[in-house]
Structure 1
Amino acid sequence: MLSHLDKQGNPSMVDVSEKQVTNRTATARSVVVLPEEVLQYLSNGEVVSKKGPVFQTAIIAGIMAAKKTGDLIPLCHPLGMDNCNIVIQVNEQREVVIDCTASITAKTGIEMEALVGASIAALTIYDMCKAMSHDIIIKETKLIAKTGGKRDFKRA
């Protein structure tokens, strides 16, 4: 049975009242491919647009979004995160790699917060760079690792 459906098949929030409180972490990654007409503005690890510093703004947007995950995803529990950290780097293939790591001590996991944080950071990069080019690709968003729940996960 899917965890977000009740016995009648209706949407339902997962009941975590019987779960143990544990320290939980999750890291999610989004990858954005920027065309050369945007990457030409990359300097000292930052792209500066007319709207301001792109990566710094994306970090703030991602953290803000992660804090609002329970408002955005209908069946997510509203959580008070202990921490949320976003790192943005350009890799050897000149792709923008966004890693969002969230942590909490709670009865339920935090992977949705990490995924939302990475996703909104990627969308913010798109928004801030679209005036330079619309040939921007948000290539992927995926869970990299999670700990502290029923089972840990780490992508190979």
Structure 2
Amino acid sequence: MLSIDNVYIKLFDKAIKRNEIFEFLIGKGEYEIRCQHAEMPTDTVDVSYTIIDYLTYYPSFDISQLIQGFIKLSEDEKWCWLIVYYMIDFKENGKYDIPYNKLYHNLTKHKESLKNNYNWISSNENYEKSIWQIIVELNTYSQEKEKLDLPNLE
């Protein structure tokens, strides 16, 4: 667990106060948290666990603010695919009432554009796969191998 004084915890707190949770989720500007092992717009694992730790430190935090950030993310044509990474991390922790079905429904509205998108793919993936193919494989793997109760993407 991160320290309450951790730089990422402080960064998320700043995003909350500025109503910039969406920007934090996509790593925009000062909220950039680079992933050392993949070409991603932000390190979704570090971001997820920063938020989860924040929720532990601040149990009175209004989680609806976070959910609104997730909804905005899931509706965004460019960044919606990141929601799968976040939902896997949050499902693994299982403590939070997250509207998974709604978020996945929003994501699937962008299925066709994601099938034609080959940008921001993890460096350990085959670059010939679209973002849609990668998130479907990740989601299916998480359902079957990790036994996470996630909505289907196809």
- TM normalised by structure 2 equals 0.29
TM value normalised by structure 1 = 0.29
Q: Which has the higher contact order (CA 8 A, sep 6+)?
A: 1
Q: Which has the larger radius of gyration?
A: 1
More helix by share: 2
More strand by share: 1
